[in-house]
Structure formats: C-alpha cells, structure tokens
Chains A and B, each alone.
Chain A
Amino acid sequence: MRSKTSYFNKGVFLNNIKRFWLITFAFSFLLFLFMMDYTNSVSARINSIYDNDPVNIAASIFPQSTDIMMLLPGFFCLIAALAVFSYMHFPRNTAMIHSLPLKRETLYITNYLSGLLLVTFPIVLNGAIMILAKVYLGIPLTYAFQWLGVNLVLTFLLYTFAVFAGMFTGHMAAQVFYYLIFNFLAVFLENVINNVLYDLLFGFYRTSSKFDVWSPLYHIPGLFNGFYNNEGSIGTVLVYFIAGVFFLVTGLLLYKRRHMEVATDVVSFNIVKPIFKYSATFCSSALLGTIIVEILNLNQNLTGYIAAYLTGGFIGYFVCEMLLRKTFRVFKAYKGFVVYGLILIILFYSIGFDFFGYGSYAPDVSEIEIMYIYSVHEIRRDLALNPEEYDPAEHRYLFSHKYHYDDYPMQLDEEFVRELRKLPGVTDSEESIAKAHKIHQYIIQNEKLFKANDSLYGNSWDDQEFKTRSLYFRYKLKNGDIIERYYRRLVTYKDNTELDNLLREYISLPEIRLKYEPILSKSADDILSVALNYYPVEGGYVRKEIPDVEGILEAYKKDLENMDPLFSMDGSYEASLPFNISFEFKESDDLYFEFNHYQPHITDKHQNVIEYLVENEIIDIERMDSEYGIHLKPVPAQ
C-alpha cells in the first residue's frame, strides 16, 4: 500500500498543535493583556484635550509595544522551535519519528509550519483585536497593519533562526545558547571590542552601536522607533524576511544531511566543532573577562586585562571540550588553548603598546581642513565639519529652534553650515588649528604622565589635588577622512597645568574666544531685554527686568575680559550664584543663542555684574548674605 509522500503531513501537524497548544495560548493571553492595556490608553487619549492627535495615537502602538514585543516573540519563538523539533535531541524520540514513512523534507516542513502557526497566531489574533478597536475608536489603521507586518516578519525570523540553530545541535541547552548568540552576538562583540579599545588604546573613542541591526531582538526598539516616526526601515524588515527565508532553506538542507545519532551531542556537524569551540572560548573570554575586569577594576591594567580574558577563555575552552567529548578528562587537550592564549596575548599587547600607531597619531596641521576640540563628542559640531552626514530623520531635532517639526530641510544649506561652524571649538583657521594640534601633540607625548596621574588620582585620599578634564578632537582632513580621538580622563596636578596653559593659549585666540563667548560681539542694539532671575527663599520665581541694557552688557563683557579664558570652557564646573541673568536678543541666527535667548551662569567671579546689580539696587547684598549665605565681595568705592 502506498504511503503519503507529500511535503506536508496533516497527522504530524495536528499532533504538534495538540501537544503544544499551550505555547500559543500563553503567548496570546499575555499579548492580549497588553492589547487591553493599549486599547485603554488609546481610548483615554482620544478623550483627552491635550493629546488627542489620532495619527500620533495610532502610531504609539510601536513605542508602547517595544518591550513586550522584545520579550514575548523572543521567548515564545524559541520555545516553539524547541518544542516541535525537541525529538531531535533525544535518541529514542528521534528513532520513533525517523522510522516513520515520511521524508525528511516532510518532517521538517510539517514541524516547521506547526511551530510557525503556534507563534504567529497570537500576533494575528491580537493584531485583529487592535484593528477592530481602532476601527471602533476611529483611529487610522495604517500603523496597525504596519505593526502586524513588522511583527510577523520579526517572529518569522526569530522562530526560523531558533529552528535553524537546532539543526547544529543535538542538545536543547545548546540550541538556546545558539539562539541567544544569534540575537546578541553582533552587539556583544561590538561592545567587547569597543570596551577593550576604550580601556587600553589611548585616545580611542567609543561610538554608538553600528551593528545592532544584526542583532534582531536588540534592534527592536530602534526599528519600532523608526516606524513610530514615520521613518520605518522597510529595507530592514525586508532583509529580515530574506534572512528568515535563508535560514529556513539552509535549515532544511542541514536537516536532510543531519545524522540522527547526534542526539545529545552539543554540535551535530563535525565541521562546526572547531568553530564552536573557539567561538565559545572567545565569547567566554570576553564575557567572563569583562566581568572580572569590572569587578577588580582592571580597566587600565593591560596585564590584568590579559589575565582576566585568559581566565574566561580557559573556562570556556575546557567547558567546550567537556561538552564535545562528554567527559571531564579533557585537560590533556591543552594545546588548542595555548595557541588561543598566545594569540590573545599578542592581540592585547598590540593594542596596549599601540603597535599600529593609533594612539600616537595626530594628523599633520597641513592635512587638516577643519576640526573641533571640545570636552565631549557633539553631533552639531560633527555636522559643522561634515554637513554631508546630515540625516534629516536623525538630526532634525537638533535644530528644532530653527525648523518646524514637519518642515525640516533635506540637507543643510550653506548659511546653516556657516552657523554651525561658529560653534565653540570648531575652527578652520590655520592659526587655531595649529594651537589645537599642539594641545593634541602634548597629550600624545604625555600619555604616560596622564596615566600615572590617573593612577595616583585613583589612589589619592585628597582628590582636590587633581584636576580632570576630558577632551574630544575631531578632524576633517583635506582628503575627506575623519579622524577622531577622545581622552576621557586627562588627570593633572592642579598646580602643574601645562595642559591648561595650552588650552588657555588656544581659547585666547580671538576667533576661538568669540566662538566661546559670542556675546562679546553683541551690542545693546542687538538685545531686546535683560532680566535678573532668581527664586527667593520665600515666594516663587522672580524675574526682574534690567532697563539699562548697555550697562549690564558692558559689566558682563568686562567680567569676561577680566576672567581667565579657560573659564569659558570650565565655567560650568564653578559654583553658580542663586540668580542668573538672561539676555533676549532681537534676532540671532547664532546657534549659541538658540531661540534668541542666552542665560549664562553667574559666579562670584562676575564682580562687575554683581557691582552693577548692587549699585543699581537690583540685588541687595545684605539679603544675599542673610538669605542665601552668599558672601559677596563689597563693592569698591567709586
């Protein structure tokens, strides 16, 4: 009698659904609870008088469901894949299933489809509930369909990969491990490499994640935010779908070639064993190594770093050997670890001793087209250097004072770039570049001094002895290359500030000075009003107009001229007085004065401003003393 030879077997399919329906039920129920909560919040917002924009409410499904859609499909896709292919991991189950008159294709496709139904049904069901709710509440449906589509693709990818991961192993725990690796490997490796370089490579700047798209679960917040902002990356969703199809087909090919006696083996294909062993060793090195480094605070210690990573690698390597050989007697196989350890040591030394000259490199002055030096990395200054980097979706919020939410430019015009280049620290003048370059050279040449100071600072009881500052350098070279260096902890003795002198020299340059203190170029005619703002001990916020604009402006300018120019850079570290002055400009394109407003910190170093305010009885020096405990210097006699 002929048996059924199609690629789908109804009996196996229904049997899986019958056995594992609880997965679908639990997933549906948890998602339903979220949907109820979401529908409630939507209903409340519609009736609100403050926040009832239907489009915005409809789009809010994405940010609101980010966490739940990271957790639920991430978990249930794995569970479904483990369940429907669980037989592969147990010899007797495998024997029973594979003795049936079914082709391997039939088994794979039928089991795959049953699992896919288990995880997609809850999304479709709850998507339908959301659509019905939105129809009832009269909210646009576009986002609901987008949400449904994106989540179905994500679920398809996650589930298919969970199945694919199972093809490489005969062990459920290993399948879970592979699945997690897939979802977090890219960001994990990126972070590990960034951490090591950040700690050991002088001047290395850790940029934000560029590889999170390769870690689908990790990328869900970014992906959902995009759709919320109407900038959803259909391309990414499409790539995820194609990747899912790839894993599905590759999974089938692997299943057809799989030897069923590998049930209980951690790795089911011999060719993959060394890859597994050394990858897991590296991951263990990185994970345990990082933990040891953080616990023992070995961040700046090359030897400590190597020891921590070798310890992590040692554990990972021999655990892998134990899993692969299914015995604890694996220590004779030490040669592989010795080779791994040597490579690791060479790698760390090459970073720590800067074999590739990264830390000692600063571009030649003649090569530099434009640069900025600032305490931190800052996007607007990046755009000043390289306006081509402007991405309307990502950067428009930086200029909300200038552009309306929906009316942002697709590229930065020349005028705007000119404004950006007025930002403090940005310069293309040869003289300023030469001074900034001198600072950079000094830092590079004194790497050991800064590190030694840092170490002393860490062990010192009196941190007042030291001064720490961070400096970020970004160069755009004439050939278009971008070079960046970041020195997060440049520790100096307070009284020995060669670095401060160099910075002072640089900031004292008229061009730089004016960029840090653009008010120096303003006259009373540019100013609409000036006011003193403070919170008295009793009563609420007080804003007192200062009618003599010219007088207060001159006093403020005089203070700036008298002050150490470094104050412009470090001012924010000084203790401010309990009041400030705000300048409102008539019109200013200067980015420093966003929204035509400027409100500097006032400290006890602003003697001319204080004198002016006292003389003109705008503040009462005695009240300052009694009410705030601020002891201001007496006003010198005229």
Chain B
Amino acid sequence: MIKIRDIKKSFDGFYALNGVDINVNKGSVYGLVGPNGAGKTTLIKLMTGIFIPDTGEITIDKQPVFENPEIKSRIAYIPDDLYFFPQATILDMKKYYKSIYPQFDEDRFEKLKEAFPLDPKKRIMRFSRGMQKQAAFWLSICLKPDIMILDEPVDGLDPVMRRKVWGILLQDVAEREMTVFVSSHNLRELEDVCDHVGIMHEGKVLIERSLTEIQNNILKLQIAFEGDLPEEINRLDILNRQSSGRVWILIVRGERKNILEYVNRLNPLLVDALPLSLEEIFIYELGGMDYAVKNIIL
C-alpha cells in the first residue's frame, strides 16, 4: 500500500534521510523505531506531504503523496507536537476538518464522546498535553482515514487512555483494514500492537520485517561448557556476549532451530534459548551499528 523508494532528504547539507526504502501493507500496523535523530519524524513529514523530498518517491496505492489531495484526504496524521488554532474548541476544529475532509463522520464524533471525556466547547489550548492528544485522536478517528500516521502517539496519555485509544484504532484496523504507521520509542507498547517493524538509524532503515520474523531471527542463548567457550561457537552471528562464571549469555542472530542444532553438536553442559523483547532486539541490533548501551561512570 505505502511504498517508499530511495528517499533522501537533507537539511543544509546534512542528510537526515539517506536512501530509505519501506513497504507497508494494507491493514497492517507498522512500527518505526530508531534512536533520536534517526530521521523518523522527517520520514513521517515526507509521508504526509509536508516536506519535499530531495530524491526518491513515496506512493500510496501507486500514487504520489506530495501535492495529491486525493491521497492526502485518506491520511490522518497526529504529530508529536500538536497544533490547534489558538482560540479553537474541539467543535471549532471539527467544523474546520469537516470543511476540508468531506468524509468526516459526524456519528462517530458523537459516539466517541463517551471514549474521550473532554468538553468540546472548551478552548483546546487550555487542555493538558494528554487531553490535547485525546482531542487529536477524537478528531482524527472521525476522518475515517485509510492510513493513520502517528508520531509518538501515546506520549502524555495515561495507561487507561492508551489502551482505549489503541483499542479503537485496532478496531478500525480489523473492521476497515485501516493501515497504521506509528513511530515511537515505547517499544513495549509497539510490541503489543505492531505486526511489522522497521528499525532506522542515521537516515537509513536497517531492518524491516514482520515482528514475528524479527523475533524468530534473533535469540538469547544461555549456555555453559566444560571449559571455555569452544572456538567453533564464533561461527554463529553473535551480536553480544556476557559471562557469569561458566555460564555465557549470547545474543545470536539466525534461525532458532539451526542455532540450537549447531550448539548442541558442541556438547554444552547447559543450553537454553530465550525469546527477546523488541526493546532488546533494538538495543542489540543498534549495538552493532555503534549505538551500544555504554556504562558511563561519573
């Protein structure tokens, strides 16, 4: 559905995006993760037609996004840094969006009043950050978009509201095959909702797969041998290794089954394979890209 091909974007000679390729399938929830400054927000602003790319193209259903109102009317975008007109209430903003998005669903707006306990006649700028986020979700969901692009979407929302919001969004994903493209640092949450993940670093996408594939492709191996680690173990794609006495913890990239078969041939005293969380995958993958967690002693 969404195809991003060789997108480059520079600011004063610095490439914030340097050849990004991404594919997002219809009806999927795609999580984009990456360290600060990786280029996630820049990519999102290109996807929503705010920025003009230097090179490359972004298409939705084979049509370019930039300067294409037809495509853009199918997108709802909730940025990290929200903007509402200074004096506007939710009702004012509803009226405004309704005049621009013909598909704005008034019934949904009424129904969602229950989900979002906000006074629609109160000035939005007087709301807290979390309440403003709720207002943004309320209005965006009423646009009935085909694609929802979210940048740090649940920042500021309380845990109950987070669940509620994700519940509504996933309902749309299930019922209307809405596609969600979400950038977040909350990997625990992404792990719960995403079916595909892309990891960005320094303007490039390092990995882009389904969450299951990613999690199957990397595992934590708890292993112990009679003496030191045998030399043959280094043939594995080890991302990280730590030892505690004779017990070694290895983060290994590869097929689970193949790794275990290979290790068992080396006659370990103990071997145990554990799944990795998305956060751990993120940390170990980026560790190989010189973005490792370092212990700083002050």
Compute how far the CA of A99 lies from the CA of B51 in the bound complex, rounded to whole angstroms: 9
By beta carbon, the residue of chain B nearest A16 is: B85
Contact B69–A95 (Cβ < 8 Å) = no
CB-based contact A102/B99 at 8 Å: no
Q: Residue B115 at the A interface, CB < 8 A?
A: no
Q: Is the CB of A3 within 8 A of B99?
A: no
A9–B51 contact, CB under 8 A? no
Report B's interface with A, CB cutoff 8 A.
Answer: 11, 45, 48-52, 67, 69-75, 77, 79, 81-83, 85-87, 95-96, 98-103
CB within 8 A of A102: which of B11, B85, B100?
Answer: B100
26 inter-chain pairs at a CB distance below 8 angstroms, sorted by A residue, are A1-B73, A2-B70, A3-B72, A3-B102, A5-B69, A9-B100, A10-B99, A11-B95, A11-B98, A11-B99, A15-B85, A92-B81, A95-B45, A95-B83, A98-B50, A99-B77, A99-B79, A101-B100, A102-B72, A102-B100, A103-B69, A106-B69, A259-B51, A260-B45, A260-B51, A260-B52
Interfacial residues of chain A within 70-106, with CB under 8 A of chain B in the complex: 90-96, 98-104, 106
Q: Is the CB of B50 within 8 A of A19?
A: no
Contact status of A12 and B50, CB under 8 A, knowing A5-B69, A95-B45, A101-B69:
no
Q: Are A260 and B50 in contact (CB under 8 A)?
A: yes
Among residues of A, the one whose C-beta sits closest to the C-beta of B71 is A101
- Given contacts A11-B95, A99-B50, list 7 more A-B pairs with CB under 8 A: A5-B69, A11-B100, A12-B99, A14-B99, A98-B48, A98-B49, A102-B69
In the complex the two chains form, what is the Cα distance from A335 to B69 in whole Å?
47
Contact B48 A3 (CB under 8 A): no
Selected from B70, B77, B83, B103, the residue in CB contact (under 8 A) with A5 is B70
Whether B50 and A94, one on each chain, are in contact in the complex, defined by CB atoms closer than 8 angstroms, is yes
Grouping DSSP codes into helix (H, G, I), strand (E, B) and loop, the B interface class, with mixed when no group exceeds half, is loop
Q: Is the CB of B69 within 8 A of A96?
A: no
What 1/0 flags go to A431-454 for Cβ under 8 Å of B? 000000000000000000000000
Contact B81 A91 (CB under 8 A): yes
Contact A100 to B83, CB < 8 A, known contacts A11-B98, A259-B51, A260-B51: no
Interfacial chain A residues near B48, Cβ < 8 Å? 95, 98-99
- CA of A10 to CA of B87, assembled, Å: 19
Query: In the complex, how many angstroms separate the beta carbon of B209 from the nearest chain A beta carbon?
Result: 28
B81 to chain A, nearest CB (A): 4
Closest to B50 in A: A98
A15 touches B72 (CB 8 A): no
- Please give me the residue from chain A that is nearest to B86 by CB atom: A19
Of B50, B72, B74, chain A has the most CB atoms within 10 Å of the CB of: B50
- Cα separation A19 to B92 with both chains bound (whole Å): 11
A4 at interface by CB-CB < 8 Å:
yes
A261 part of interface (Cβ distance < 8 Å): yes
Q: Given the complex, which residues of A lie within 8 Å of B82, measured CB to CB?
A: 92, 96
Please give the distance in Å from A169's CB to the nearest CB on chain B.
Answer: 16
Considering only CB atoms, which chain A residue lies closest to B104 in the complex?
A1
Please, which residue of chain B has its CB at the minimum distance from the CB of A15?
A: B96
Q: Which of A5, A90, A99 is the most central at the interface, judged by chain B CB atoms within 10 Å of its CB?
A: A99
Contact of B72 among A96, A100, A260 (CB under 8 A): A100
Contacting residues, chain A, for B71 (C-beta < 8 A): 101
Residue of B nearest to A10 (CB): B99
Instruction: Verify B50–A95 contact, CB threshold 8 A.
Output: yes
Given A9-B100, A11-B98, A14-B99: A95 and B73 interface contact (C-beta under 8 Å): no
Please state if A2 and B83 are interface contacts (CB–CB under 8 Å).
no
Q: What sequence of 0s and 1s flags, for each residue 97-130 of chain A, a beta carbon within 8 Å of any chain B beta carbon?
A: 0111111101000000000000000000000000
- Give, as a whole number of angstroms, the nearest-CB distance from B178 to chain A: 14
Among B11, B83, B101, point to the contact of A101 (Cβ < 8 A).
B101
Asked if B45 and A3 sit within 8 Å, CB to CB, the answer is no
Smallest CB-CB separation from B149: which chain A residue? Answer: A99
Closest A residue to B103 by beta carbon equals A1
How many residues on the A side are at the interface (Cβ–Cβ under 8 A)?
30
CA distance A163 to B48 in the complex (A): 25
Which residues of B lie under 8 Å from residue A91 when comparing CB positions? 81
Which residue of chain A has its CB nearest to the CB of B77? Answer: A99
Q: Known A98-B50, A260-B51; judge A4-B69 contact (CB<8 A).
A: yes
The 7 A-B residue pairs with the shortest CB-CB distance, nearest first, are A11-B99, A3-B73, A101-B73, A101-B72, A101-B69, A1-B103, A96-B83
List of B residues within 8 angstroms of A1 by Cβ: 73-74, 102-103
Residues of A within 8 A of B50 (CB): 94-95, 98-99, 260
Are B69 and A259 touching (Cβ within 8 A)? no
- Residues 495-523 (chain A) with a chain B CB within 8 angstroms: none
Residues in B whose Cβ lies below 8 Å from that of A2: 70, 73, 102
Contact check, B73 vs A92: say whether CB atoms are below 8 A apart: no
**Could you say which residues of chain A place their CB within 8 Å of the CB of B74?**
1
In the complex, are the beta carbons of B79 and A95 less than 8 A apart? yes
Shortest CB–CB separation between residue A18 and chain B, in angstroms?
8
Which residues of chain A come closer than 8 Å to B51, judged between CB atoms? 259-261
> How many angstroms from the CA of A102 to the CA of B81 in the assembled complex?
21
Given A100-B72, A103-B69: A3 in contact with B100 (beta carbons within 8 A): yes
B81 / chain A contacts, CB cutoff of 8 Å: 91-92, 95
What residues of chain A lie closer than 8 Å to B96, measured between beta carbons?
A: 11, 15
Contact B67 A3 (CB under 8 A): no
B262 smallest CB distance to A (angstroms): 49
Contacts of A14 in B (CB 8 A): 99
Please measure, in the bound complex, the distance between the C-alpha atom of A12 and the C-alpha atom of B50, giving whole angstroms.
Answer: 17
Q: Within 8 Å CB of A95, what residues of B?
A: 45, 48, 50, 77, 79, 81, 83
Residues on the B chain within 8 Å of A19, using CB: 85-87
Q: Are B79 and A96 in contact (CB under 8 A)?
A: yes
Per the 8 Å Cβ criterion, residues 1-55 of A in contact with B are 1-5, 9-12, 14-15, 19
A91 to B41, CA, bound (A): 12
Q: Are A100 and B100 in contact (CB under 8 A)?
A: yes
Q: Shortest distance in angstroms between B92's beta carbon and chain A's nearest beta carbon? A: 8
Q: Within the assembled complex, what's the spacing in Å between the Cα atoms of A14 and B98?
A: 13
Q: Which residues of A contact B79 (CB under 8 A)?
A: 92, 95-96, 99
Q: Which residue of chain B has its CB nearest to the CB of A256?
A: B67
Contacts of A99 on B, CB cut-off 8 Å?
A: 48-50, 72, 75, 77, 79
> For residue B85, which residues in chain A have a CB less than 8 angstroms away from its CB?
15, 19
Q: Bound state CA distance, A3 and B67, in angstroms?
A: 12
Point out the residue from B77, B86, B102 that lies within 8 Å of A4, measured CB to CB: B102
A3 touches B11 (CB 8 A): no
Residue in chain A with minimal CB distance to B99: A11
Residues of chain A within 8 A (CB-CB) of B83 are 90, 92-93, 95-96
CA distance A260 to B11 in the complex (A): 11
Determine the chain B residues whose CB is within 8 A of the CB of A10 once the complex forms. 99
CA distance A557 to B221 in the complex (A): 127
Smallest CB gap from A96: residue in B: B83
A104/B73 contact (C-beta < 8 A), A1-B102, A96-B83, A98-B50 known: no
Q: Nearest A residue to B47 by beta-carbon distance?
A: A99
Q: Which residues of A contact B52 (CB under 8 A)?
A: 259-260
What chain B residues lie within 8 Å of A101 (beta carbons)? 69-73, 75, 100-101
